């Protein structure tokens, strides 16, 4: 980290002195004085942490010392304290008033960005937040309480002033291997000494400690195998897509803390491919966040409800001017770092599963985007993707994703971990051949009919693309575990016209959120209606789905139809009772799934893709994505969410040919197509 310049140091000293005064003066009335004094104490704690790190005082910390420090920084938003935390907009509104409480809760959440800034010695970032706090405090020193609009304007102009700095830092962190804060910890630390985990500045729970300890107990051979599956899948993604990896320079590694021993080996493997690692932390400022999702590296999540409550804090300042300003910064930054962007090979992600499933509360005191702001958010996301694609072309990079369980999954953790390792290394040739048998039949169809059973109300017809030359072309991709580990699916981009019916699942977890009785109705491939049963009112349920599945779009197309074939993963889920804890990466292989949003080929539809049998997959576009040639702003939606029907809720999947013949593929949750029966072995009664 660069040394602090004189101006920043001067601003820091002035801000620190003023905040120290706030602790003892009485110029703000209660209950606001208590809020500002408590928040000032937190700011000074974060600042002291930065100073202790800079002076080397933390080098002699024991593990217990680090744990006390970590708890002091995060305890206020942990679930057992959250009911009385100013980070909770409900509590803030109750104690500080509805209008003042909501905006002061936003301020409190934004100030927590000082934690990662302290560890990275980013004093410019810390000073900007401290000055915002002081300006808000000054507004309460008058004889009358400030109006809400006055406070909103303070926030608005602060965001306007610092968008350039914050967005550039975020963009650069995603591209520049010289931003090596995390890389140095991973590659230089003694990983047997678990104190290293606390040097990231993330919340460290028992989960991360136990995960790191478990990996330390594995042999080097086991670690090498874990890393090899991950990195070889990444390399094969370039081979399968016929993209020249040798011209790439960097790989972005995204993971959860605790996996450093595997990640270190992966970095070594990537180096042999000529790639340097880029690690960036999940965003801490509302300007850079996209709802509650965490993208990058991160530790334990202190409180998912806190993240959910603040996922749309941008409602405070989201307007057309902000959108244009942020887009302008993104364009400027990409142009500034275009050589780094051209050398970017794509993300390599390690996902985890086993955490306690999260069912959010819908708190009215939390900020929510207005209808107008929702449209602006969609515009911002779409335009950002278009800018990104100019510098990081969709047909010129790849990715890989792999998942492992964490100790929080329960007493069978080690057994589940080893089962997952087995699933991640299944015989891809066996699956390739069985899936090819399935594709040969699917290619005969004009549509596919999917029907649920029992409580599952799915009744859906998916229209398939048309083949002009069946000898050289195919509709479905044969997924054999390169970018998308583990093996086990065939998928296509369906035609929208003629895709009709109802998709229903009784319970599903999408992007970390739970949905009960999720129902999506399709008309000509577009979502025409939607609902769930999480909340008491239909209005709340629709809002929940619109925010977190449709991402504020009026509608979304069906971007993918797939049939999962990994019955081994399904058997593991049933054996250990963990179906509700599996990530979509594995869950999507355990039954048919339907993605809403962009196709699997978004931004790369013109790049030819071939199956192992040499046939070209021609179903890469749909009626929305093809608009990129004439109306680019209508072609993409910036999201892709898979919804899976488990085998246990599946009545049938049948292929319907042009002459009306029905060919069954799955009946009552079992594969019945000749040549695929072997897939039933893991799920049949022993």
- The mean pLDDT value for 661-675 works out to 96
pTM to 2 decimal places: 0.92
The Cα-based distances of 112 to 5, 11, 44, 86, 583 in angstroms read 23, 19, 12, 12, 28
Q: What is the pLDDT of residue 71?
A: 98
pLDDT of 547 over the 70 cut: yes
- Partnered with residue 515 across adjacent β-strands are 508
Q: Collapsing DSSP states into helix, strand and coil, what is residue 353?
A: strand
Tokens for 131, please give them.
Answer: 């000055």
Q: Higher model confidence: residue 585 or residue 502? A: 502
pLDDT tens track for 215-228: 999 999 999 999 99
Q: What is the pLDDT of residue 242?
A: 86
- The mean pLDDT value for 121-142 works out to 97
pLDDT tens track for 154-187: 999 999 999 999 999 999 999 999 999 999 999 9
657 vs 446: CA distance, rounded Å: 5
Residue keyed to tokens 């880029």: 278
- The mean pLDDT value for 13-33 works out to 96
Question: Which H or E element spans position 656?
Answer: strand 650-657
Tokens for 617, please give them.
Answer: 């997959």
334 vs 176: CA distance, rounded Å: 12
Tokens for 258, please give them.
Answer: 């605790």
Q: What is the pLDDT of residue 1?
A: 43
pLDDT of 2 over the 60 cut: no
250 vs 252: CA distance, rounded Å: 7
Tokens for 151, please give them.
Answer: 């406070």
pLDDT of 595 over the 90 cut: yes
Sheet holding 344-353, edge to edge: 276-278, 250-254, 344-353, 400-405
- DSSP H helix total and E strand total for the chain: 22, 19
pLDDT of 352 over the 70 cut: yes
Q: What is the pLDDT of residue 481?
A: 63
Nearest to 394 by CA among 403, 407, 383, 385: 385
Residue keyed to tokens 């509805």: 98
Contact 570, 590 (CB under 8 A): yes
Contact 435, 490 (CB under 8 A): yes
Listed range (190-199, 235-244, 344-353, 646-655) with the worst mean pLDDT:
235-244
- Local confidence band at 585 (pLDDT 50, 70, 90 cut-offs): confident
All residues at 6 or more sequence positions from 202 whose CB lies less than 8 Å from its CB, including other chains: 116, 257, 281, 297, 298, 299, 300
pLDDT of 128 over the 70 cut: yes
Q: With both helix axes pointing from N to C terminus, report the angle between 89-96 and 98-111 in degrees, rounded to the nearest 10.
A: 130
- Local confidence band at 292 (pLDDT 50, 70, 90 cut-offs): confident
CB burial string 498-513: b at 16+ within 10 A, e below: ebbbebbbbbbbbebb
- The mean pLDDT value for 422-438 works out to 92
503 vs 531: CA distance, rounded Å: 11
């Amino acid at each position: 980290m660069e040394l602090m310049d004189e101006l920043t140091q001067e601003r820091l000293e002035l801000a620190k002195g003023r905040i120290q005064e706030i602790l003892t003066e009485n110029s703000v009335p209660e209950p606001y004085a208590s809020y500002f004094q408590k928040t000032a104490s937190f700011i000074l704690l974060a600042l002291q942490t930065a100073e202790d790190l800079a002076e080397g005082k933390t080098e002699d910390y024991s593990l217990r010392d680090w744990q006390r420090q970590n708890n002091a920084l995060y305890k206020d938003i942990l679930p057992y304290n959250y009911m009385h935390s100013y980070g909770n907009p409900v509590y803030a509104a109750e104690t500080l008033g509805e209008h003042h409480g909501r905006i002061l809760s936003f301020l409190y959440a934004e100030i927590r960005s000082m934690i990662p800034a302290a560890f990275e010695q980013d004093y410019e970032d810390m000073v900007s937040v401290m000055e915002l706090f002081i300006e808000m405090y000054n507004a309460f020193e008058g004889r009358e309480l400030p109006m809400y609009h006055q406070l909103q304007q303070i926030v608005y102009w602060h965001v306007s002033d610092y968008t350039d700095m914050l967005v550039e830092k975020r963009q650069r962190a995603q591209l520049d291997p010289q931003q090596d804060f995390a890389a140095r910890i991973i590659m230089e630390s003694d990983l047997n000494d678990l104190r290293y985990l606390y040097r990231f500045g993330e919340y460290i729970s028992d989960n991360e400690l136990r995960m790191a300890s478990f990996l330390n107990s594995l042999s080097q051979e086991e670690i090498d195998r874990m890393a090899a599956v991950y990195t070889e899948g990444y390399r094969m993604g370039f081979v399968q897509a016929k993209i020249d990896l040798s011209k790439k320079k960097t790989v972005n590694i995204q993971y959860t803390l605790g996996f450093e021993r595997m990640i270190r080996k992966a970095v070594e493997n990537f180096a042999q491919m000529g790639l340097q690692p880029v690690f960036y932390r999940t965003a801490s400022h509302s300007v850079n966040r996209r709802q509650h999702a965490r993208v990058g590296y991160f530790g334990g999540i202190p409180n998912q409800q806190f993240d959910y409550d603040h996922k749309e804090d941008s409602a405070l300042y989201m307007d057309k001017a902000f959108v244009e300003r942020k887009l302008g910064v993104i364009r400027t930054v990409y142009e500034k770092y275009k050589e780094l962007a051209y050398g970017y090979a794509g993300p390599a992600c390690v996902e985890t599963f086993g955490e306690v499933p999260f069912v959010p509360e819908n708190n009215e005191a939390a900020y929510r985007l207005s209808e107008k702001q929702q449209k602006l958010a969609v515009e911002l996301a779409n335009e950002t993707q278009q800018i990104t694609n100019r510098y990081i072309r969709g047909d010129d990079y790849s990715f890989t994703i792999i998942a492992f369980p964490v100790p929080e999954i329960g007493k069978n953790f080690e057994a589940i971990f080893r089962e997952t390792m087995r699933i991640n290394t299944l015989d891809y040739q066996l699956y390739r051949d069985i899936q090819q048998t399935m594709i040969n039949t699917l290619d005969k169809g004009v549509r596919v009919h999917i029907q649920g059973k029992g409580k599952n109300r799915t009744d859906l017809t998916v229209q398939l693309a048309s083949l002009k030359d069946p000898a050289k072309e195919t509709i479905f991709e044969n997924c054999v575990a390169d970018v998308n580990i583990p093996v086990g699916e065939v998928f296509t981009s369906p035609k929208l016209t003629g895709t009709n019916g109802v998709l229903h699942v009784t319970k599903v977890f999408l992007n970390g959120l739970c949905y009960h009785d999720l129902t999506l109705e399709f008309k000509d491939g577009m979502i025409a209606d939607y609902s769930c049963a999480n909340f008491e009112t239909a209005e709340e349920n629709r809002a929940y789905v619109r925010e977190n599945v449709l991402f504020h779009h009026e509608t979304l197309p069906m971007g993918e139809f797939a049939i999962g074939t990994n019955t081994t993963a399904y058997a593991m889920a049933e054996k250990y009772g963990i179906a509700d804890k599996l990530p979509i990466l594995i869950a999507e292989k355990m039954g048919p799934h339907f993605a809403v949003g962009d196709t699997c080929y978004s931004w790369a539809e013109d790049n030819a893709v071939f199956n192992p049998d040499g046939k070209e997959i021609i179903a890469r576009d749909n009626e929305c994505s093809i608009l990129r040639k004439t109306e680019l702003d209508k072609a993409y939606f910036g999201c892709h969410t898979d919804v899976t029907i488990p085998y246990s809720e599946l009545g049938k999947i049948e292929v319907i040919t042009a002459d009306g013949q029905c060919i069954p593929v799955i009946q009552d949750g079992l594969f019945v197509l000749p040549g695929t029966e072997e897939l039933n072995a893991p799920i049949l009664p022993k």
